[in-house]
Amino acid sequence: MAKATPNVLAVTGNEAVAEAMRQIDPDVVCAYPITPQTEIVQLYAQLVADGKVSTEFVTAESEHSAMSAAIGAAAAGARTMTATSSQGFALMWELLYIASSYRLPIVMTVVNRALSGPINIHCDHSDSIGGRDSGWIQIYGENHQQAYDNCLQAVRIAEHPDVRLPVMHMYDGYVISGAIGPLTPLEDSRVREFIGPYQPVNPLLDVQHPVTVGPFDGLHGWYFEHKVAQNLAMERAYQVLQDVADEFARLTGRQYGLIDPYRLEDAEIAIVVVGSTAGTTRLVVDQLRAKGVKAGMVRVRVFRPFPYHTFAQALQHVKVVGVLDRADSFGAQGGPVFLEIRAALYDNDPRPQVLPFIYGLGGRDIFPHDIEQAFGVLDEAAKRVRRVSTQRRYLNLRQGRGLEHERK
């Protein structure tokens, strides 16, 4: 890590998260390398080898095995972390549901990368967005600082007695993971105070208080009730997410919420966006404001549990809302975030029109003029008496062979 100023480091996003993990010093880290996440666990493995942390590092033979080991460690009573991307995330699929159904407070970093095929190693959100209903809390960061901050907060959220659910936090592959950006880390002592000692609940290895982990829960069992209990924990997580963010703000001065609004108070048109593209969108909002256009933006920070009440309130006065999805939902009316936002605003009166945009799949660049084009569609829709078509609009899409036919 290169030191930029006395308090600010110049680091990659992966270095920022490895630093957060060093300060957390979990009992167990289980991982398997995959681009563009590899650097996190590579750096952390070196910290273990150098004796700078007390973590037991488990080098698994696959991501499926890594999550299996993480489940075993967490069930045994260890503070446990892991990290993955893309196909590795997909290989963990069945274990994601097991980790959440066992109410294990595992923290996982997901460096967003497109799912194959064709083979692609660049950023979109198809990996983690695909796991949105696996029972994990999902938090998305925009930059290096948020990757670090979200990692620290995720531990507190996962382990909170009102929650006890696994948490994954995300940031964009390469755009953040491999690029150099500023990080203002906390002192180690302040992180330890914020995180606190781990207090396991019903640890498997507590032989004085035996518990059953992973029993059969069949037709006449309590499976239904267990699923409802998971969802009730998700409901309680709203308050815990905000309480932890408020405590973190008192510690650092950096305030987080369930959403991150920008110039929204009097906005007539607004874009909802996830991840690093929020920075480019803010730039466009400022440029449009200088031209007299009442534009605004909301960055999605927490996607699960989805803060639908918060979005409904924040966007209640907006005439037209555009949703920028960096993942598609094949066969649905729009991308996954669009579907959530449209449902959240359905009961608003008056109800804003919500339009879907797809961008950046497989790492395709998104430029300010692309976002300005989206705002142009919103502005035109706001001036019309009749609602415009809610057909997907693709930003920065090449018109190649067969595409003209496919879009008809």
- pLDDT for 272-314, tens place per residue? 999 999 999 999 999 999 999 999 999 999 999 999 999 999 9
Please report how many Cα atoms fall inside a 13 Å half-sphere around the Cα of residue 128, on the Cβ side. Answer: 33
Higher per-residue confidence, 17 vs 212? 17
Taking CA atoms, 123 is separated from 55, 170, 362, in Å, by 30, 11, 6
Q: Which domains does the chain have, with CATH numbers?
A: 2-252 (3.40.50.970), 259-407 (3.40.50.920)
Q: How many CB atoms lie within 10 A of CB 349?
A: 5
Residue 152 has what pLDDT? 98
Question: What's 114's DSSP letter?
Answer: P
**pLDDT exceeds cutoff 50 at 3:** no
CB 156 within 8 A of CB 195: yes
Query: Which distant-in-sequence residues (6+ apart) come within 8 Å of 181 by Cβ?
Result: 10, 11, 12, 13, 16, 143, 144, 145
**pLDDT exceeds cutoff 70 at 404:** no
Q: What is the mean pLDDT of residues 26-39?
A: 97
Are β-strands 353-358 and 393-394 bridged in parallel, bridged antiparallel, or unpaired? Answer: parallel
Task: For residue 197, name the pLDDT band (cuts at 50, 70, 90).
Answer: very high
Q: What is the mean pLDDT of residues 364-378?
A: 97
Q: What is the mean pLDDT of residues 75-92?
A: 98
Residue 68 has what pLDDT? 98
Q: How many CB atoms lie within 10 A of CB 377?
A: 17
**pLDDT exceeds cutoff 60 at 316:** yes
> Can you tell me the distance from the alpha carbon of 46 to that of 53, in angstroms, rounded to the nearest whole number?
10
Q: What is the mean pLDDT of residues 156-175?
A: 98
> Can you tell me the distance from the alpha carbon of 80 to that of 74, in angstroms, rounded to the nearest whole number?
6
Q: What percent of the chain has pLDDT over 90?
A: 93
**What does the block give as tokens for 183?**
């990080």
**pLDDT exceeds cutoff 80 at 169:** yes
Residue 36 has what pLDDT? 98
Q: How many CB atoms lie within 10 A of CB 394?
A: 16
Residue 1 has what pLDDT? 54
Provide the phi-psi class of 372: left if phi over 0, else alpha when psi is between -120 and 50, else beta: alpha
Which of 295, 272, 275 minimizes the C-alpha distance to 283? 295
Length of the chain counted residue by residue: 408
Residue 406 has what pLDDT? 52
Q: What is the mean pLDDT of residues 40-51?
A: 98
> Can you tell me the distance from the alpha carbon of 211 to that of 163, in angstroms, rounded to the nearest whole number?
20
> Can you tell me the distance from the alpha carbon of 174 to that of 164, in angstroms, rounded to the nearest whole number?
31
Q: Which of 208-212, 266-270, 321-325 has the lowest mean pLDDT?
A: 208-212
Taking only Cα atoms into account, the Rg of the chain, rounded to an integer number of angstroms, comes to: 21
Residue 259 has what pLDDT? 98
**pLDDT exceeds cutoff 60 at 405:** no
**pLDDT exceeds cutoff 50 at 53:** yes
Average pLDDT value for the chain: 95
Instruction: Report the SS3 class of residue 120.
Output: coil
Which of 263, 291, 248 minimizes the C-alpha distance to 145? 248
